[in-house]
Structure 1
Amino acid sequence: MHLHWLKPLLGRPAPFVTVHLDASPAEVAGESGPMDRWRSVRRDLERDGAPAAVLDQVAEVLGRPDGCRDAHGRVVVADAEGVLVDRVLRVAPPASRGVYGPVPALSPVVRAAEESVQVLVVAVDRSGAELRWLDVDAAVGPVRSTETVEGGHDDVHKVRESGIERRGQTRAEDSWQRNAEAVAAAVDRRVTQTAPGLVVLTGDVRTVPLVRDALDQHTRRLVVEVAGGGRGEGIQAGAFAARLAEAVDALRARRRAAQVERYREARGRGEGAVTGIDDVVEVLRRGQVDQLVVSVDALDAGLAERTLWVGPEPLQLATSRADLTTIGVVDGECRELPADVALVRAVLGQDAGITFLGDGDVELVDGVGAVLRWADGSTPSESVPTQSADTRRLRSGA
């Protein structure tokens, strides 16, 4: 998962307010709800010096319903000019918290981005289709925009009249095919222009396979068929939304599994991947990283509690001030950041991606590893650790 849309955060003026909120609704009367949790976070931010005007803008955004009825989280980032990011998280954080500082607390924002999927729903019938663009985070969100595609061939009904029945059937089937080809051409164009993560085909059961077969190879790789949707009246929206959510979850699982397999293969070859904070910092500094892989447990605990040293540029990164000055950063420009923020900042700085892994997916020293774009003789390389201390670190992910 790549993070191009987050790069503008790097150029925004400090300071930032980042709120990571348990936005789950109250389950029983009298229980604290999202806005009660926000008020507690706000008090902490006020004590840290966050401006009231910025906090008022955050409160306004958080006060808008997010449409999720189940347990979930929400992350908001703001600078002095207003709210920059508002994302829903499928999983609520262990505790709601706010951070006021010189850089945004990027890890919850990145986790939200990893869960987000851009979806193009193509609801077809025999005369054309409706194209709907959705942003899917914790739940299937509202339709962002729509487009109607009409095939142009209106002889779409089979006739049942003596003597001309077969001819009418042939004309109707020919119209279905031509209309399906027109829809497929429009979908191919929009996929090229908007690059969705998933294309969902739904609607008339005879037309869906015609459209699918007419799509080009690139678009077809993104397609899943989900029953129950359509253009007309009488569609069971709730049932279709549930099936769509399952399709999005399956996509998330597939892309995470693909990155896990890339990492395992590279480690198995003994090249093309590293693990451990020291080696990961080294390859990030050299611009070698294609995909950072991070244990969710380490992100929530060890990495957030550890610090790294950074300079003015995202790839100026080190585990100590002394190491940072050796790469040319003058002492007055050195500063400490939480390790999770510094790592994500460096990932953004080299247009790399990031994947969060669950417990048991792979073994990661310090809870972090990287798949590399390239390697040479000076690239860090290690065999699987065999010392007892390293084995303990692998098992704990810390």
Structure 2
Amino acid sequence: MKLDWLKPLLGRTGPFTTVYVDATRNDPTGETEVLDRWKGLRRDLERQGAPTPVLDEIEDVVTRPTRVAGPHGRVLIADAEGVRIDRVLADPPDRNSATYGPVPALLAAARAADEAVSFLLVEVDRQGADLYWSDGAGRLETGDHEVVEGDHDELRKVKTGGGWHHDHSQNRAEDSWERNAETVAADIDKQVVRRNPELIIITGDVREVPLLQEKLGHHAKELAIAVPGGSRAEGVKQDTFDERVKATLEAYRARRREGVLDHFRQEQGRGGAAVTQLGDVIEVLRRGQVSDLVLQESVTTNASPIGDRTVWVGPDPLQIAVTRDELEAMGVTEGARELRADIAVVRAALGQDAGLTFAVDGSVDLVDGVGAILRWIDPSTPSESVLSQSGDSGRVHDIV
């Protein structure tokens, strides 16, 4: 999972106010439920010293309807100049929380975002298509909608009669359907380059869906999957189709996560481009080597293996070290401070455009609950090797 949506925080100076709130409304037009939750959080923030103008702006934003049905959450992150992040989360938080401090509370936001999939839903028929883009949280309700009008000189395939006119009409209809698919596919291809979705879900007319898939360019075709049951027209069993889309997204999330973890296992098994252990992960983060940060799911809980660990950081996200002496040896003398290790590694990953994947505890071999897949290695890159010959689960740590 990419952390692009958190990039507006890069280069901003603290303190930051971070709010996680259940944004579910039983009455879509009512504000009292969310407002009541916010009032309790506001009192907490006032006690922590958050400035009133910032709290007023957050209140104005958090009480605006999300236009999302069903249970969902919301995260807002603000600095002294106002709200920088406002993101709908697919699920409400386990508990509402608010913090005011030198850095934003990134971990819970990253964990929630790990469940999101950026996708395009295409409902196609023989006249064109409706394109629905998911929002940052992987929901369609607050995403963009676009209508593509196809090339449809003849929309109906003649089913009666015979002879030359019958065959000619059939051919014209089939040609029109193909031109329609080509028009829609060309639009999708352009937008995929610009918006880079992870997945394209195609549904609609049973004849047009495979035609559209066939006409897509190579990249879009690799992202596309057909899901039956949807339509541009009224009368579909929407609940059934929604469940199929949900299952498709869940399967994709599982594949995405397992793809990263399998890559980590392979690199770790051959002593390649993967490291674990907090100190080693900090070193490769500092060097800008990380393509994907891997965190054990328990890192986000009270049972985190690094929950009581702190590291030293400077103003730049890649200025990170285990000790203050190490940080000063890097030339960082101004703005050095201690920071929780879990927040610091996510901050450093964001600073080098790395992805973030959460692993079920025990699914991969992670010392301290943290690991990293590397973009590149050199002779000074830390390396770990698992003692497998004797069945010992210990670890030999060396520098190669």
Q: Which has the higher helix share?
A: 1
Which residue of structure 1 aligns with residue 61 of structure 2? 61
After TM superposition, the structure 1 stretch with the greater mean CA deviation from structure 2, 198-207 or 80-89, is 80-89
Match of 2:369 among 367, 370, 386: 367
Which residue of structure 2 aligns with residue 29 of structure 1? none
- Counterpart CA distance in 2 for 1:171 and 1:152 is 10
After TM superposition, the structure 1 stretch with the greater mean CA deviation from structure 2, 47-56 or 154-163, is 154-163
On the 8 A contact 1:155/1:171 being kept in 2, the answer is: no
Alignment of 1:44 with 2:41, yes or no, is no
Which residue of structure 2 aligns with residue 2 of structure 1? 2
Match of 1:219, SS?
Answer: helix
**Structure 2 vs 1, CA of residues 194 and 90 (structure 1 numbering), >3 Å: closer, same or farther?**
closer
Which residue of structure 2 aligns with residue 354 of structure 1? 356
Which residue of structure 2 aligns with residue 337 of structure 1? 339
Which residue of structure 1 aligns with residue 227 of structure 2? 226
Which residue of structure 2 aligns with residue 129 of structure 1? 129
Which residue of structure 1 aligns with residue 189 of structure 2? 188
- Counterpart CA distance in 2 for 1:345 and 1:47 is 26
On the 8 A contact 1:107/1:344 being kept in 2, the answer is: yes
Which residue of structure 2 aligns with residue 283 of structure 1? 284
Match of 2:364, SS?
Answer: coil
Which residue of structure 1 aligns with residue 296 of structure 2? 295
Which residue of structure 2 aligns with residue 319 of structure 1? 322
- Counterpart CA distance in 1 for 2:386 and 2:91 is 32
Match of 1:382 among 381, 384, 387: 384
On the 8 A contact 2:88/2:136 being kept in 1, the answer is: no
How far the C-alpha of 1:152 sits from its partner, in A, is 4.1
After TM superposition, the structure 1 stretch with the greater mean CA deviation from structure 2, 339-348 or 155-164, is 155-164
How far the C-alpha of 1:36 sits from its partner, in A, is 3.8
On the 8 A contact 1:159/1:168 being kept in 2, the answer is: no
Which residue of structure 2 aligns with residue 141 of structure 1? 141
**Structure 2 vs 1, CA of residues 185 and 156 (structure 1 numbering), >3 Å: closer, same or farther?**
farther
- Counterpart CA distance in 2 for 1:289 and 1:280 is 9
- Counterpart CA distance in 2 for 1:252 and 1:18 is 26
Alignment of 1:268 with 2:269, yes or no, is yes
Letter in 2 for 1:43: R
Letter in 2 for 1:64: R
Match of 1:21, SS?
Answer: strand
Which residue of structure 2 aligns with residue 241 of structure 1? 242
Q: How many residues are treated as equivalent by the alignment?
A: 383
After TM superposition, the structure 1 stretch with the greater mean CA deviation from structure 2, 34-43 or 95-104, is 34-43
How far the C-alpha of 1:229 sits from its partner, in A, is 1.7
- Counterpart CA distance in 1 for 2:119 and 2:280 is 36
- Counterpart CA distance in 2 for 1:47 and 1:317 is 30
- Counterpart CA distance in 1 for 2:168 and 2:4 is 54
Deviations 1:293-314, CA, capped at 9 Å, x for gaps:
0012113333454221001221
**Structure 2 vs 1, CA of residues 155 and 144 (structure 1 numbering), >3 Å: closer, same or farther?**
closer
- Counterpart CA distance in 2 for 1:93 and 1:296 is 15
Identity level (%)? 49
Alignment of 1:205-216 (within 5 A): 205-216=206-217
- Counterpart CA distance in 2 for 1:13 and 1:48 is 18
Match of 1:55, SS?
Answer: helix
State the TM-score, normalized to the length of structure 1.
0.88
On the 8 A contact 1:127/1:156 being kept in 2, the answer is: no
After TM superposition, the structure 1 stretch with the greater mean CA deviation from structure 2, 61-70 or 267-276, is 61-70
- Counterpart CA distance in 1 for 2:175 and 2:90 is 45
How far the C-alpha of 1:155 sits from its partner, in A, is 4.4
- Counterpart CA distance in 2 for 1:58 and 1:5 is 18
Which residue of structure 2 aligns with residue 157 of structure 1? 157
Match of 2:103, SS?
Answer: coil
Point out where structure 2 has 5 or more consecutive residues left out of the alignment. 27-31, 396-400
On the 8 A contact 2:126/2:152 being kept in 1, the answer is: no
Letter in 2 for 1:11: G
- Counterpart CA distance in 2 for 1:126 and 1:95 is 47
After TM superposition, the structure 1 stretch with the greater mean CA deviation from structure 2, 288-297 or 104-113, is 104-113
Letter in 2 for 1:337: L
Letter in 2 for 1:321: R
Deviations 1:149-172, CA, capped at 9 Å, x for gaps:
322433433241243333322221
State the TM-score, normalized to the length of structure 2.
0.88
Deviations 1:93-128, CA, capped at 9 Å, x for gaps:
443221111221122222233333222222111122
Letter in 2 for 1:270: G
Letter in 2 for 1:175: S
Point out where structure 1 has 5 or more consecutive residues left out of the alignment. 27-31, 394-398
- Counterpart CA distance in 2 for 1:36 and 1:357 is 35
- Counterpart CA distance in 1 for 2:200 and 2:370 is 32
- Counterpart CA distance in 2 for 1:153 and 1:345 is 55
How far the C-alpha of 1:226 sits from its partner, in A, is 1.4
